[in-house]
Amino acid sequence: MTDRYCVLGNPVAHSRSPVIHAQFAAQRGQDMSYEAVLAPADGFAETVAQFVAAGGKGANVTVPFKEEAFRLSTRRSARAERAGAVNTLVFGEAGVFGDNTDGAGLVRDIEANLGVALAGKRILLLGAGGAARGVIAPLLACRPASLFIANRNADKAEALAKEFSDLAVVDAGNFAKTAGHCFDIVINATSASLSGASLPLPAEIYAPGSLAYDMMYGKGETPFLAQARQQGAALLADGLGMLVEQAAEAFLVWRGVRPETAPVLAELRRQLTA
């Protein structure tokens, strides 16, 4: 029988995950289906239960349910535990296993796809929401020279820095506090680009040869990347690669085989720019 998987979110119709997993499955000869399932804002657990009752084997979880998925999991990976959020669920006899593949996806996209090493780099992480929280430990595991978390609401950035202070000394504050600092890698994990807003970042935060990375993606350059280009970032990347890499990591968790991401990323990029 074909194994069923899905992505749960609200909204979810825009999700590219069904296209990505269909390509992974074809590539690796896996007998599986993958659909987008809209969960009501107050009905995440019920939607999961219905999917499991219908034979579902696993699910990805997207906005706004990653924290609820964390609470619903009866067992969790160490990386999900550390992130406090779950984006990958595995349904089995023993209950619900929760994992988080977002951080691994980001690291893989930066290091393997873009060819930029994180070790020894000065990293600025913008944002202190779920996406930022999920990538802090995986970034620190790559041994950067430093990590600065900047957020509109400085208290949230400072709370995150404190939460991860057992791993490294992390600087934190509002955007203005980054003035006078210089970074090799600037990662936008805010949702500001969604509303077309640009961030009040000081000039001269980009070191020569630096990478500006926006977790957002879409047709054309995001407002954050347009701003980074003006401020002197040398390399610009959006979050499409992260999306494909976190999906590949979830596929590995479910099926025990790692799919090849390059052709899938190239096809998605072609569709996005067509």
Catalytic residue list: 66
| Of residues 218-247, those binding ligand NDP (CB under 6 A) | 239, 242-243, 246
Least distance in Å: CB of 141 to ligand NDP?
18
Least distance in Å: CB of 40 to ligand NDP?
19
Residues near 270 by beta carbon (within 8 Å), at least 6 away in sequence = none
For 240-261, the DSSP string reads: HHHHHHHHHHHHHHHHSSPPP-
* Nearest alpha carbon to residue 90 among 51, 131, 135: 51
Tokens 């009501």 map to which residue?
40
User: Alpha helices, DSSP H only, in the chain?
Assistant: 17-28, 44-53, 66-72, 78-83, 102-108, 130-141, 154-163, 223-230, 240-255, 262-273
Binding-site member from 199, 228, 264, 265 for ligand NDP (CB under 6 A): 199
Q: Judge if the upstream peptide bond of residue 11 is cis by omega within 30 degrees of 0.
A: yes
| Of residues 22-61, those binding ligand NDP (CB under 6 A) | none
Applying CB under 6 A, the site for ligand NDP has a residue count of 26
Least distance in Å: CB of 238 to ligand NDP?
8
Is 200 or 208 the residue whose CB approaches ligand NDP more closely? 200
Examine residue 194 and tell whether it contacts ligand NDP (CB under 6 A). Answer: yes
Q: Which residue is nearest to ligand NDP (CB)?
A: 129
Least distance in Å: CB of 239 to ligand NDP?
3
Examine residue 127 and tell whether it contacts ligand NDP (CB under 6 A). Answer: yes
Which residues are paired to 10 by β-bridges?
none
Least distance in Å: CB of 183 to ligand NDP?
17
Examine residue 128 and tell whether it contacts ligand NDP (CB under 6 A). Answer: yes
Examine residue 259 and tell whether it contacts ligand NDP (CB under 6 A). Answer: no
* Alpha carbons 48 and 8: distance in angstroms, whole number: 8
Given a contact cutoff of 8 angstroms between Cβ atoms, the answer to whether 32 and 42 are in contact is no
**Which positions lie near ligand NDP, rule CB under 6 A?**
63, 102, 127-132, 151-153, 156, 189-192, 194-195, 197, 199, 215-216, 239, 242-243, 246
